[in-house]
Amino acid sequence: MKIIEIKTLGIDAIKVITYARFRDARGYFTEHYRRSDFRNNPGMGFMDGVEFVQCNESYSRKGTLRGLHFQWNPYMGKLVRTVKGRMLDIVLDIRKGSTTFGRALLHEMAGDPASETDEWIWVPPGFAHGNVFPEDSVIEYLCSGEYSQGCEAGISPYAEDIDWTLCAPALKGLFDSMASATGLVTEKDRNGFTLKKWLSDERSNHFSLQSLA
């Protein structure tokens, strides 16, 4: 695996890892994950101790909105990439005591076979995660915890108390237009918690900075 760049988005814990593809007349080949490269790269210290135990794939039709999901017992960090199509990845800080609590990020990720590179986004425990899809798309994500039914919840992507000011205006505009028009969102996601209601739920204590340390 050839890691080209590791960059931090608007919240320090959220990282984007860009890696190379090796192209010729036939197409391309890439190693999109190699454990030793993640462990030995000097810029990847934020992944120390992370072991992936589950790998998920999701197909979403154009206009689909998913999230914003999170889990405890066990916690689940996600390493996410777009295999095909185009995704706006949504990340929301739900760490109680964090200076960026309640602030959201949007990051656009396209699965373009003509590109010389591809990328992962790392969403660690302590963040709610979701996606919206401007076109039919397939995504893959490696998980640091196995799915645990009954130990999950979600913040509604429509919650009025989410702070979107870290997002690029063009991406926020695209999100708003899609979220307001789509019928491809579950009622569970649409009717998820607001931040205020989640903070009043005792389960939110699983996501204090002390609990996550």
Which among 69, 107, 129, 206 is annotated as catalytic?
69
pLDDT of residue 213: 87
Q: Is 189 helix (H, G, I), strand (E, B) or coil?
A: helix
pLDDT digits over 185-202, tens only?
Answer: 999 999 999 999 999 999
Which among 19, 107, 129, 141 is annotated as catalytic?
141
Domains located in the chain, CATH noted: 3-208 (2.60.120.10)
Reply yes or no on whether 141 is catalytic: yes
Q: What pTM value is reported for the model?
A: 0.94
pLDDT digits over 75-121, tens only?
Answer: 999 999 999 999 999 999 999 999 999 999 999 999 999 999 999 99
CB 88 within 8 A of CB 174: yes
CB 67 within 8 A of CB 99: no
pLDDT of residue 60: 98
Distance CA 25, CA 127 (A): 41
Reply yes or no on whether 158 is catalytic: no
